[in-house]
A and B are shown apart, each in its own frame.
Chain A
Amino acid sequence: MDLLGYGAFFLTTALIFSLVTLGLNLQWGLTGLFNVGVAGFVAIGAYTSALLTTPDDAARLGGFDLPILVGWLGAMLVGGVAAAITGIATLRLRSDYLAITTFGVAVVVQLVALNAQTLTGGPFGIGFIPRPFGGLAETPLLFNLSNLAVVSVVTLIVYLALEHLSRSPWGRVLKALREDERAAISLGKSARFYRVQAFAVGGAIMGLAGALQAHFTGFIAPDNYLPALTFQVWVMLIVGGSGSNIGAVIGSILVWAIWAGSGALTSMLFSPEQQARAASLQIVAIGVMLCVILLVRPNGLFGDRPRRPRFGKRARVAPSESGS
């Protein structure tokens, strides 16, 4: 019974991670947009939903006591708008600028979460976030299973929607832009407009995932959204294979299993005072794993067909050389 309960809990967390990874796959795998601020967009969603749905709290703004579904929609909206603004600012420039800016977004979101007490509750975070089937909390097994069902349904809907999108004309334009930008532009597709759209939809999915997580645990704090989260999601996508939605889901479950498993292992092997050190070794291992996969098997388990090897830079330099 305990094992079943833990299994449900584990899968729920893993599926929430898959949602984030699916959002990143839309941005990176399908469109080639590099987002180093994943944690920031997840945090935006979590805090938005928490603000909308918690009961009124005198210590901070709101607590609007709205239904959970409204919280989720709000999280998607705010996450999407934040991503759209980031995209509009940087997508006309070189891809590195987007990476640096998204990194900055995550830093600023973390700063706001920590310091804007009246909005986010500061370092102590926000508690009493309503949980779906909260009435079942007396029987943990039933509670975990019903939450797993909710998260599974949401993940399935997002997955099917993304599969449909990537086969639609819209998705084909994104792939065309990723593979050969100049050819796509010459067919009359506005590169920047499509990319901003893809980035915004990805941000909205990340926001939704943040909201799901917040309502599953019932409590959020700035510490949940450190750069390590961004890093985990990237490893999940790369292991699964960027470009493949099913790869994103399986990669997330696999990496989360490794992460949780090695966490349990270190807590068994090391004394409590050595735990923090052992946990940092865990991150070293995952970081090395990311680099090794990039070197040895860059397409991951289910990666899209290999892209033509070429430098984005060289492709851009070539015409000016032959032209002059």
Chain B
Amino acid sequence: MNLQFVADGLLAGSMIGLGAIGVTLTYSILRFSNFAHGDFMAWGAYATLAVVGAIGAMFGKIAPIAPLSFGWPLIVALIIGMAATGLLALALDMVLFARLRAKGQAIIVVMASFGASMALRSLLEFIFTSRPTYFSRAIQIAMPIGFGIRITPDQIALLLLTAVLVLGVHLLMTRTQTGRSMQALSQNAALARIVGIDVAKVVRVTWIIGGGLACVAGVMIGMLIQIRPFMGFEMLLPMFAAAILGGIGSVPGAVLGGLIIGLAEAGAVQLIGAEWRAAISFIILMAVLFVRPIGLFGVGER
């Protein structure tokens, strides 16, 4: 068996894992599974693409940085895109989710997120049409790194970026006051309020982290595959599966879950064909629900 699937799986797993962090945080802190999270990815990718276009219009053509396919415009655009996606998530929470949460029925919020997901995705389709677009049409030469694995400079850069982001979120969650408040709120909401944790602030931070990471995942998909309005929606099942496999509320769990699903998908593509890729996450999801519903790093339901 060709070991190339390891590199492909790690890349797919990074995209899934970055998305799953947002899903798992929303689920554990706001207590609902957000079906619009995949569409944050797509909005992030399109927002970044739009900023790249605007920079191109202002400064003309900019040469890419040595071995990579992109230059500083994409890096700047990604940061702006992350902020924009975080703001989108905040806005959606303000207009829709927060009001429904106040009414008190958790599952209604899930339904609203399903409606919002449809509306967000179709709005992208309306603005940009369903035709796929790309950040760059340049073809990069993949270089061999041993064991029959080939990888492009872009892919290495994205893997490094993922590692940095995951480490950053992990440190934020465990070493800062904000992160500890987030954990407190997810473990016992009533008690967290009693000790005076600013719930509104924790909710804001949750959406901004989730939205920002979704944007990075969307841009990764855009750079390695293509940008389409449906790109995020198709990631929804792998993201949910990764979050549940890792254990709801656990950031390292979400990333590990994402990597496991990414590797399983890439391996399965070699064995049974690419058209069945999407079924892998479903099989893993069902297996987890039957065998260990709290996931790898999960704690029992409270």
Q: Are A287 and B289 in contact (CB under 8 A)?
A: no
User: In this complex, what residue of B is CB-closest to A230?
Assistant: B114
Give bound CA distance, A311 to B112, whole Å. 16
Q: Tell me if B's interface is mostly helix, strand, loop or mixed.
A: helix
Which chain A residues (205-255) contact chain B, with CB distance < 8 Å?
A: 227-228, 231, 234-235, 238
Q: Are A280 and B125 in contact (CB under 8 A)?
A: yes
Q: Are B35 and A36 in contact (CB under 8 A)?
A: yes
Give bound CA distance, A282 to B281, whole Å. 31
Q: Are A97 and B122 in contact (CB under 8 A)?
A: no
Answer yes or no: A114 CB below 8 A from chain B CBs. Answer: yes
User: In this complex, what residue of A is CB-closest to B293?
Assistant: A93
Which chain B residues (254-275) contact chain A, with CB distance < 8 Å?
A: 275
Answer yes or no: A169 CB below 8 A from chain B CBs. Answer: no
Give bound CA distance, A228 to B117, whole Å. 11
Answer yes or no: B14 CB below 8 A from chain A CBs. Answer: no
Q: Are A115 and B276 in contact (CB under 8 A)?
A: yes
CB distance from A275 to the nearest CB of B (A): 11
Q: Tell me if A's interface is mostly helix, strand, loop or mixed.
A: helix
Q: Are B122 and A280 in contact (CB under 8 A)?
A: yes
Q: Are B104 and A309 in contact (CB under 8 A)?
A: yes
Contacts of B100 in A (CB 8 A): 294-295
Q: Are A107 and B110 in contact (CB under 8 A)?
A: no
Answer yes or no: B290 CB below 8 A from chain A CBs. Answer: yes
Q: Are B112 and A294 in contact (CB under 8 A)?
A: yes
Interface size on B, residues (CB 8 A): 52
Contacts of B290 in A (CB 8 A): 89
Give bound CA distance, A184 to B269, whole Å. 47
Q: Are B278 and A111 in contact (CB under 8 A)?
A: yes
Answer yes or no: B62 CB below 8 A from chain A CBs. Answer: no
Give bound CA distance, A164 to B189, whole Å. 42
Contacts of A320 in B (CB 8 A): 302
Q: Are A290 and B112 in contact (CB under 8 A)?
A: yes
Q: Are B111 and A309 in contact (CB under 8 A)?
A: no
Q: Which B positions have Cβ atoms within 8 angstroms of A?
A: 27, 31-33, 35, 96, 99-100, 103-108, 110-112, 114-120, 122-123, 125-126, 129-130, 188-190, 233, 236-237, 240-241, 244, 275-276, 278-279, 281-282, 285-286, 289-290, 293, 301-302
What are 12 A-B pairs at a CB distance below 8 A?
A32-B107, A103-B237, A104-B286, A107-B278, A107-B282, A111-B275, A235-B115, A283-B118, A294-B112, A295-B96, A295-B100, A311-B105
Extra contacts besides A97-B293, A317-B189, A320-B302 (16): CB < 8 Å: A94-B301, A96-B27, A96-B107, A100-B244, A231-B115, A238-B111, A280-B122, A281-B126, A282-B122, A284-B122, A286-B118, A288-B115, A290-B118, A312-B106, A314-B104, A314-B190
